[in-house]
């Protein structure tokens, strides 16, 4: 190629027309190679896209990456391309991969085939918005179980002080917490300071709504160059846990949206939260144990400044089958 270029330059010096013809031939040779490579690249891209279709379809139906791989390996001969796609696409929060995430990182700090909890640890770095929606938890799907020693399927909030003097109590600070369309055996809110509490259109198999009026301040979470928003949609997990796990450091998120969550096998708990606004809307709570047992509880340790308590009804609700 270098000899051809030198010859073309030599020809151009001797005869501009002859030099132009040589340069044009060299140009056309390069363009033919480029067009060939582009065509081959398009074919490879189409092949991988086609191989990934079963995996993509399962993810769109709300199946987690690990579950999708398991289903395809168990029931499809087209698994080679799918597994290759999964290898090229590492575990992440946005993909709905189970694991432990330290916000605002999209990659898990811990993941394992035997660990099917979606856990998000919030710290001093503020996050603009976290959305988790359209997921199924606990024993609501086959062959699932709560992690060892756990009794709650959803845990949201800070952590209490423990016997270890090295750990100090933490809170989860939220500008706007949205809890809508949960299906829980029990739902309990405790140790909360909130400026505006909206409890609207919830149905429960027994309820005790007993927050106390006070003067919590309104709040929003700023922080200048905040972390990117975090969003995941769809998936099956043994447990969902969103906590402030570092001693003495409150987690901070401006909007925390937890929507359309179907759970079974344990309680749903929101504890140690300081919020500007909390919306508890259109949830169904019940263990099928009668109205005398209060499956939906907002305890007296919840303090609000303004409260809207509308259209909350007691009806017979049993756990999901």
pLDDT tens, residue by residue, 69-108: 555 555 443 334 444 444 456 889 998 999 999 988 899 9
Residue 130 sits in the same domain as residue 230: yes
Give tens-digit pLDDT for 242-270: 999 888 899 999 999 999 999 999 999 99
Residue 61 sits in the same domain as residue 145: no
Residue 126 sits in the same domain as residue 184: yes
Tell me the C-alpha distance between 205 and 224, whole Å: 44
Say if residues 135 and 240 touch (Cβ distance below 8 Å): yes
Tell me the C-alpha distance between 294 and 314, whole Å: 10
Residue 169 sits in the same domain as residue 55: no
Residue with tokens 């706007």: 176
Q: Domain end: 89, 109, 137, which one?
A: 89
Q: Assess whether the previous peptide bond of 104 is cis (omega < 30° from 0).
A: yes
Instruction: Report if residue 27 sits inside a domain.
Output: yes
Instruction: Report if residue 181 sits inside a domain.
Output: yes
Residue-level pLDDT at 250: 94
Residue 169 sits in the same domain as residue 291: yes
Residue-level pLDDT at 10: 53
Planar angle of CA 209, 215, 219, nearest 5 degrees: 95
Residues 6+ apart with CB under 8 A from 89: 65, 95
- Predicted confidence (pLDDT) at residue 16 exceeds the cutoff of 90: no
The better pLDDT of the pair 284, 43 is held by 284
- pTM (two decimals): 0.74
Tell me the C-alpha distance between 222 and 241, whole Å: 23
Tokens of 277: 């606004």
Residues 6+ apart with CB under 8 A from 86: 55, 65, 69
Residue-level pLDDT at 99: 94
The domain in which residue 3 lies consists of 1-89
pLDDT class of 203 with cuts at 50, 70, 90: very high
Helix H or strand E segment including 30: helix 16-60
Instruction: Report if residue 237 sits inside a domain.
Output: yes
The total number of residues written for the chain in this structure:
321
Instruction: Report if residue 319 sits inside a domain.
Output: no
Tokens of 102: 């330290």
Residue 81 sits in the same domain as residue 103: no
Q: Domain end: 61, 89, 117, which one?
A: 89
Residues 6+ apart with CB under 8 A from 23: 8, 12
Residue 142 sits in the same domain as residue 208: yes
Instruction: Report if residue 320 sits inside a domain.
Output: no
Residue 23 sits in the same domain as residue 105: no
Domain count, the chain: 2
Residue with tokens 């949206």: 257
pLDDT class of 20 with cuts at 50, 70, 90: low
Residue 55 sits in the same domain as residue 175: no
Residue-level pLDDT at 144: 80
Instruction: Report if residue 321 sits inside a domain.
Output: no
- Predicted confidence (pLDDT) at residue 317 exceeds the cutoff of 80: yes
Tokens of 248: 């003495």
Residues 6+ apart with CB under 8 A from 284: 182, 183, 184, 202, 203, 204, 317
Give tens-digit pLDDT for 159-196: 887 766 777 899 999 999 999 999 999 999 999 999 99
Residue 61 sits in the same domain as residue 116: no
């Amino acid at each position: 190629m270098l000899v051809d270029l030198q010859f073309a330059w030599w020809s151009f010096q001797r005869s501009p027309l002859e030099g132009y013809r040589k340069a044009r031939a060299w140009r056309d040779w390069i363009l033919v190679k480029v067009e060939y490579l582009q065509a081959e690249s398009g074919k490879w891209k189409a092949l991988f896209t086609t191989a990934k279709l079963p995996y993509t379809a399962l993810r769109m139906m709300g199946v987690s990456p690990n579950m999708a791989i398991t289903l395809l390996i168990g029931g499809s001969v087209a698994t080679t391309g799918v597994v290759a796609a999964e290898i090229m696409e590492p575990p992440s929060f946005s993909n709905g991969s189970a694991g432990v995430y330290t916000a605002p990182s999209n990659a898990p700090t811990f993941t394992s085939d035997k660990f099917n909890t979606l856990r998000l640890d919030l710290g001093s770095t503020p996050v603009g918005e976290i959305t988790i929606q359209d997921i199924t938890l606990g024993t609501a799907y086959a062959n699932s179980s709560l992690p060892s020693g756990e009794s709650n399927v959803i845990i949201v909030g800070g952590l209490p002080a423990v016997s270890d003097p090295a750990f100090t109590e933490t809170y989860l600070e939220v500008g706007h917490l949205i809890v809508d369309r949960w299906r829980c055996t029990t739902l309990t809110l405790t140790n909360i300071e909130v400026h505006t509490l909206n409890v609207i259109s919830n149905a429960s198999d027994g309820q005790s709504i007993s927050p106390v009026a006070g003067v919590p301040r309104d709040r929003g979470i700023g922080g200048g160059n905040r972390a990117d928003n975090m969003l995941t949609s769809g998936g099956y997990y043994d447990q969902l846990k969103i906590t402030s796990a570092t001693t003495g450091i409150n987690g901070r998120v401006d909007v925390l949206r937890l929507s359309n969550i179907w759970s079974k096998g344990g309680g749903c708990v929101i504890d140690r939260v300081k919020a500007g606004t909390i919306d508890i809307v259109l949830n169904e709570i019940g263990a099928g144990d009668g109205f005398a047992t209060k499956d939906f509880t907002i305890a007296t340790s919840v303090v609000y400044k303004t409260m809207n308590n509308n259209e909350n009804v007691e009806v017979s609700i049993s756990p999901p089958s």
